Amino acid sequence: MTFITGKELDNTIRALLKSKEVRCAVAFWGFGASELLRSAGNRNIRIICNLRSGATNPGEIEKLEKSGILVLQNDSLHAKVYINDKHAVVTSANVSSNGLGLEGNETARWIEAGVLTSDIRNVNEWFEDLWVNSRAITKNDLREAKRTWKLHRKHKPTASFRDYDIEVAINSKSLPLVSWYDYSDWTANEESVKRQIGLYDDTIEDRINNSIDIEHEADSNLFKDSKWVLQFRIKKDNRIAANPGFYWTYSGPFIRKAFYYDDNKKSLKDCVLEAESTPPIPFNTTDRIFQKAFKDIIEDDKYKTLLDDMEKNMPWFKPRKNKMVQFWRDLHKHYMSMCNE
């Protein structure tokens, strides 16, 4: 067993990844990760990643899969373990072009270390057990990963909710709306989208993925002027998820019959697309106190209508607009009391 750091660690992992048989249980995969493995060719390569965390670049996972590499996901994975037929490296280093699981020069200050071992029997057993308990990556998983990846990349730390002035936002008519989403598979109605905006490509698909469902014309009128909408994830029981997946969407054009949910292909959905360009987000939602305060208030019986499902051909946002104003007031009050505890 050998303790390795720095350049030696980087070179050891790169050499291991060139082996004919490679297994990686590595949580986070960043820019350039796919280049380190190149095409699978006749090699046997299996990977387990943590896709849902928001710290893995979904574009790199797509490239790995397209090259013929088997990739599964496990939401609990935080380990970084690299294995070939003779050795294993257990380390703190994720995979990217710079040896880390984030992007560019942001992570150059991190010091990584690991252990190289040739006693791989227990490591192999651990990997195989983890493989059995991991799951495939669906098209919708990749879509949601792009949503959370974009959130991590685009929404850097900004103003705190502590400093957000609710009354100013109300008076200036800039108070965000709130809306929930879940992990439902969907398919774009490409021809309809093309007719309305002139094209359909991966960028448009991402904007649909981050869009806002609209069930009634009365709701679409609320978005004639661009608005911020704070979207949050809920579970099947209509309670907010433990990992709420907060996501800011700045509204853009209204699109009719843009997509359908895969479990109901006959029901085409209208939506408000995410805008092509956006101003700075209103405030940072990664604050754990904010997330706890949000969960406390949104699950109060007073605001249960904000968790209701949309009724077909009925407005959802318009009848809840005033309720959202009071929700933000109560949320800010609760948040400030928690900060002062």
User: What digits encode the pLDDT tens for the residues 55-80?
Assistant: 888 988 998 998 889 999 999 999 99
Tokens for 7?
């350049």
- Report the SS3 class of residue 7: helix
**Cα 56 to the chain's mean position, in Å?**
9
- Report the SS3 class of residue 169: helix
Q: Provide CATH 3.30.870.10 ranges for the chain.
A: 2-137
Angle of helix 139-154 versus helix 58-66 axis, rounded to 10: 140
How does the average pLDDT of the chain come out, rounded?
87
Do 213 and 269 contact (CB within 8 A), yes or no? yes
Do 41 and 9 contact (CB within 8 A), yes or no? no
Angstrom distances, CA of residue 182 to CA of 97, 231, 236: 33, 10, 8
Do 275 and 250 contact (CB within 8 A), yes or no? yes
Please state the CATH superfamily assignment of the domain spanning residues 2-137 in this structure: Endonuclease Chain A (3.30.870.10)
Percent of the chain with pLDDT over 90: 53
Do 255 and 270 contact (CB within 8 A), yes or no? yes
Looking at the predicted structure, is the pLDDT value of residue 134 above 90? Answer: yes
153 confidence band (pLDDT: 50, 70, 90): low
- Report the SS3 class of residue 4: strand
Instruction: Work out the average pLDDT over 162-187.
Output: 90
Of 209, 47, 48, 207, the C-alpha closest to 142 is 209
Looking at the predicted structure, is the pLDDT value of residue 302 above 90? Answer: yes
Whole-structure pTM value: 0.61
Looking at the predicted structure, is the pLDDT value of residue 21 above 90? Answer: yes
